[in-house]
Amino acid sequence: MLPEYTAIAFDKVIEKGGRTKPWTVLVETDRGIKPYVVKMFTPHLVENRDVVTNEVLGNVLAREFDLPVPEAALIHMDENFRMTIHDPRAQMAFDAADERIKFGSALVEGNYLFNPAFTKTQAEKMIDLDTLFAFDVFIRNRDRNAGKPNLLVTGKAAWLIDHELGFEIDQQAIADFKAGQWDEKFYLYHIFLNYLKKSRLATKRDYFGAFTEYLRTLNVNIIQPYLQQLGNHGYDQSRHTMIRDYLREIRQNSPNFDALLKSFIA
């Protein structure tokens, strides 16, 4: 389960970059008061894209592949919290936001966005390029591209954020995988594709080794308590079986997935 915290003070709206304009707020955690970034989704996005489930699963599964993600939590925003918002536009956004418990991630301090102008050598000091590429293909996340890197850099590390549009999974996705096919929109625009493509043949052969080993040993059941928790908070549960089936199908055929990944960077 994710920890559940209560927001105690509004800080600001993050205006730059993304579509959803998340907020920084102070929340009461079991380790004291900490700044968190909370996604203020509209009911429309929650209903149509199941964005909160995607954020939670993206964060939880990234850990299984040793990819750095900020601590995630579910954040409760009540009337006392609302009284700490003095900016009228933020008050309107609060009232327009979906009322359920929200997805938040611990503020990554002093970060800058990953920049596609970085060289491959610079980028690979920050993160395993092949593992992140494979992970995004796996979770069907189209939202890590040059326009929207959704990768926060601090010092020498890069942190994954923003999985709201991942897990674009349906029966066709499973059928395609069984047939050795994959819709190119799920890898063609990935921020790391060109770095991987430019590599030497010998390097390419070794790519995805770590990812495939994590995948082979992935316990899909670990997502169950998180899905249950979301269900308890009134989030839709109708996609859960499909998501589990999809993850298991890929896990059970990890060599095929490895071959598919290698074909994308050939």
Ligand X SMILES: Nc1ncnc2c1ncn2[C@@H]1O[C@H](COP(=O)(O)OP(=O)(O)O)[C@@H](O)[C@H]1O
Q: Angle at the Cα of 225 (from 41 to 82), degrees rounded to 5? A: 30
- Among Mg ion, ligand X, none, what does residue 19 contact (CB within 5–8 Å per kind)? ligand X
Given the complex with Mg ion, which of 62 and 260 has the nearer CB atom? 62
CB of 90 to ligand X, least distance (A): 15
**Of the candidates 53, 54, 131, 150, which one interacts with ligand X according to CB under 6 A?**
150
State the residue number with the nearest CB to Mg ion: 18
CB of 89 to ligand X, least distance (A): 16
**Long-range contacts at 29-34 (CB < 8 A, ≥ 24 apart):** 29/3, 29/5, 29/73, 30/3, 33/8, 34/106, 34/107
- Sequence-distant (≥ 6) Cβ neighbours of residue 151 within 8 angstroms: 113, 114, 127, 132, 144, 158, 159, 160, 161, 191
Give me the 12-31 binding string for ligand X, x by CB under 6 A, dash otherwise: --x-xxxxx-x---------
Given the complex with Mg ion, which of 75 and 160 has the nearer CB atom? 160
CB of 154 to ligand X, least distance (A): 9
CB of 113 to ligand X, least distance (A): 6
Which value, to the nearest 10 degrees, does the dihedral of the CA atoms of residues 242, 247, 251, 253 take? 50
Q: Angle at the Cα of 109 (from 104 to 110), degrees rounded to 5? A: 140
Among 73, 59, 156, 171, CA closest to 114: 156
State the residue number with the nearest CB to ligand X: 18
Contacts of Mg ion in 133-172 (CB under 5 A) = 150, 162
Q: Is 210 in the site for ligand X (CB under 6 A)?
A: no
- Count helices and strands (H / E) in the chain: 13, 8
Site of interaction with Mg ion (CB under 5 A): 18, 150, 162
Site of interaction with ligand X (CB under 6 A): 14, 16-20, 22, 37, 70, 105-108, 111, 150, 152, 161-162, 164
